């Protein structure tokens, strides 16, 4: 019997091609949009190259310093991190680094602009980069401000073509750096590690960089396995109460805590240390459900029209003894088939679009993958919505008297 229902469902879907197209478009578009959105969010928030240990990493990149009449909101300064953030309880390793900035290089009469990031030597132990040439700079290189550099594969292609880069020199804003390592490019959305070139932090030439309490730096803390991050945060808060301010009359309090990647996302636009990750996740889930409700409502309306116009068919089947549950099962199978076809189209479209990210400029290093868990959950919801939108009107029509159904009426 199920085989006959599947054959009938296929024939019915081909009968009213416009209604079928609208339904398939709604389901497949929703599936595609959900899979792409989740793929982007998953790769921004979940551990992946080179930030492979985000599950036990805290990042300090948001501080607030204020006084009676002044306030300063920015990332921490090198002086603050160097004096007050080292050797916190539960921390296995800590790295200090700058955000990404631009520097220019002239090669064969061409001006090339690169993203650069200054880091300490611990950066290469906190992050897990894949070296294709050479290796990272050492603590000695950083301490002595040696002009060495690690570059990405995309920067190597722009600078040296297909030739090896190890030992060659790069001019950055008039300063020469010797390449000692080449790494696989970090994806652009890896905000704490992505760059084209990485330089020892002691080579930073910004005036007053090493004497600032605020601005210019970030710090990443790799926690020990099983460490309590709240204990780490409490110890850092206690140290902030002992900060010596350069201008106590203007500033007297400083606030901020290291946060997880999800907490950083949830705290966007709010005060340092104020996070609501559960609320952010809840809002995202509600937004996803609301987005899925749009095609679901559309599918309900289309199914109502489809079923009511088939009232005469239902009347004939009832007149020949078809049970109400058989009619309901038939329409349920039709909607499940429709949802499965729409889901397959949506999955195919999402895979094609996500894979096409690899065709973008190689230095962006964009690489996304479909989340099969989200695909399964989204397809399940689509099937549930399809069942609900088909079963109720089918059940209602199945309860009508055969004579009224044959007249094409509905009550």
What does the chain come to in residues?
411
Question: Phi, psi (5° rounding) for residue 197?
Answer: -135, 145
258, 278, 262: which is closest to 126 by C-alpha? 258
363: confidence class by pLDDT, cuts 50, 70, 90: very low
User: Could you read off the pLDDT of 298-313 as tens digits, one per residue?
Assistant: 666 666 666 666 666 6
Q: Are residues 289 and 248 in the same domain?
A: no
Q: Are residues 313 and 371 in the same domain?
A: yes
pLDDT of 404 reads 58
Of the three residues 273, 297, 325, the one that is the final residue of a domain is 273
Q: Say whether pLDDT at 214 is over 90.
A: yes
Q: Are residues 68 and 41 in the same domain?
A: no
Q: Is residue 23 one of the residues assigned to a domain? A: yes
What average pLDDT score do residues 240-260 get? 93
Least confident segment among 77-86, 131-140, 244-253 = 244-253
110: confidence class by pLDDT, cuts 50, 70, 90: confident
Q: Are residues 122 and 156 in the same domain?
A: yes
Beta bridge partners of 96: 219
**299 in Cβ contact with 386 (< 8 Å):** yes
User: Could you read off the pLDDT of 149-189 as tens digits, one per residue?
Assistant: 999 999 999 999 989 999 999 999 999 999 999 999 998 87
Q: Say whether pLDDT at 4 is over 70.
A: no
Residue 364: strand, helix, or coil = helix
Q: Say whether pLDDT at 196 is over 80.
A: yes
Q: Are residues 262 and 239 in the same domain?
A: yes
pLDDT of 147 reads 97
> 324-355 vs 2-15: helix axis angle to the nearest 10?
70
Highest-scoring range by mean pLDDT, 243-257, 258-272, 314-328, 373-387:
243-257
76: confidence class by pLDDT, cuts 50, 70, 90: very high
Q: Say whether pLDDT at 284 is over 70.
A: no
pTM for the model stands at 0.71
Q: Are residues 93 and 204 in the same domain?
A: yes
Average pLDDT of the chain?
A: 82
pLDDT of 114 reads 96
Q: Is residue 118 one of the residues assigned to a domain? A: yes
First to last CA, the chain: 29
Q: Is residue 333 one of the residues assigned to a domain? A: yes
Q: Are residues 294 and 267 in the same domain?
A: no
Q: In this predicted model, which residue has the larger pLDDT, 118 or 327?
A: 118
Q: Is residue 411 one of the residues assigned to a domain? A: no
**35 in Cβ contact with 371 (< 8 Å):** yes
243: confidence class by pLDDT, cuts 50, 70, 90: very high
Q: Are residues 251 and 400 in the same domain?
A: no
What does the block give as tokens for 202?
């002691």
Structural domain boundaries, residue 132: 54-273
Q: Is residue 234 one of the residues assigned to a domain? A: yes
Q: Is residue 283 one of the residues assigned to a domain? A: yes
Q: Are residues 13 and 115 in the same domain?
A: no
What does the block give as tokens for 282?
């809840």
Q: In this predicted model, which residue has the larger pLDDT, 254 or 283?
A: 254
**Among residues of the chain, what percentage have pLDDT more than 90?**
46
What does the block give as tokens for 154?
């995309």
pLDDT of 144 reads 97
Q: Say whether pLDDT at 96 is over 90.
A: yes
Q: What does R_g of the chain's alpha carbons equal in angstroms?
A: 30
What does the block give as tokens for 177?
């750096």
Q: Are residues 288 and 243 in the same domain?
A: no
pLDDT of 265 reads 75
Of the three residues 245, 273, 301, the one that is the final residue of a domain is 273
Tell me how many domains the chain contains.
Answer: 2
Q: Is residue 393 one of the residues assigned to a domain? A: yes
Beta bridge partners of 219: 60, 96
Q: Are residues 200 and 300 in the same domain?
A: no
Of the three residues 273, 303, 335, the one that is the final residue of a domain is 273
Q: Are residues 360 and 299 in the same domain?
A: yes
CA 6 and chain centroid, separation: 39
pLDDT of 185 reads 93
Q: Is residue 15 one of the residues assigned to a domain? A: yes
**C-alpha–C-alpha distance, residues 329 and 350, integer Å:** 31
pLDDT of 360 reads 60
411: confidence class by pLDDT, cuts 50, 70, 90: very low
């Amino acid at each position: 019997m199920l085989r006959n229902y599947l054959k009938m469902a296929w024939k019915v879907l081909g009968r009213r091609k416009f209604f079928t197209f609208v339904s398939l478009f709604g389901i497949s578009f929703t599936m595609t949009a959900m899979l792409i959105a989740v793929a982007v969010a998953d790769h921004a928030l979940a551990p992946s190259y080179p930030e492979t240990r985000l599950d036990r990493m805290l990042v300090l990149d948001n501080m607030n310093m204020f006084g009676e009449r002044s306030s300063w909101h920015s990332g921490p300064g090198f002086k603050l991190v160097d004096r007050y953030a080292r050797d916190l309880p539960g921390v296995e390793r800590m790295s200090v680094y700058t955000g990404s900035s631009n520097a220019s290089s002239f090669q064969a009469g061409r001006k090339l602009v690169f993203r650069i990031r200054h880091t300490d030597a611990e950066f290469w132990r906190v992050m897990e980069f894949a070296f294709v040439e050479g290796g990272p700079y050492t603590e000695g290189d950083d301490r002595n401000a040696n002009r060495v550099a690690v570059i990405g594969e995309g920067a190597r292609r722009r600078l040296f073509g297909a030739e090896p880069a190890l030992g060659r020199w790069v001019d950055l804003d008039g300063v020469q750096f010797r390449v000692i390592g080449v790494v696989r490019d970090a994806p652009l959305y890896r905000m704490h590690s992505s760059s084209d070139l990485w330089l020892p932090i002691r080579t930073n030439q910004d005036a007053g960089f090493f004497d600032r309490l605020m601005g210019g730096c970030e710090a990443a803390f790799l926690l020990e396995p099983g460490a309590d991050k709240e204990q780490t945060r409490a110890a850092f808060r206690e140290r902030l109460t002992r900060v010596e301010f350069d201008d106590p009359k203007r500033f007297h309090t400083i606030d901020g805590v290291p946060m997880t990647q999800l907490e950083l996302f949830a705290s966007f636009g709010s005060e340092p240390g104020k996070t609501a990750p559960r609320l952010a996740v809840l809002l995202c889930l509600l937004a996803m459900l609301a987005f899925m409700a749009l095609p679901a409502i559309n599918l309900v309306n289309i199914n109502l029209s489809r079923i009511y116009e088939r009232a005469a068919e239902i009347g004939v089947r009832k007149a020949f003894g078809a049970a109400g549950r058989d009619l309901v099962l038939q329409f349920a199978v039709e909607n499940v088939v429709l949802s499965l076809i729409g889901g397959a189209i949506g999955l195919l479209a999402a895979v094609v679009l996500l894979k096409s990210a690899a065709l973008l400029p190689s230095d962006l290093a964009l690489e996304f993958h479909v989340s099969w868990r989200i695909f399964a959950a989204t397809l399940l919801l689509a099937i549930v919505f399809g069942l609900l939108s088909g079963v109720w009107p089918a059940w209602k029509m199945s309860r009508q008297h055969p004579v009224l159904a044959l007249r094409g009426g509905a009550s």
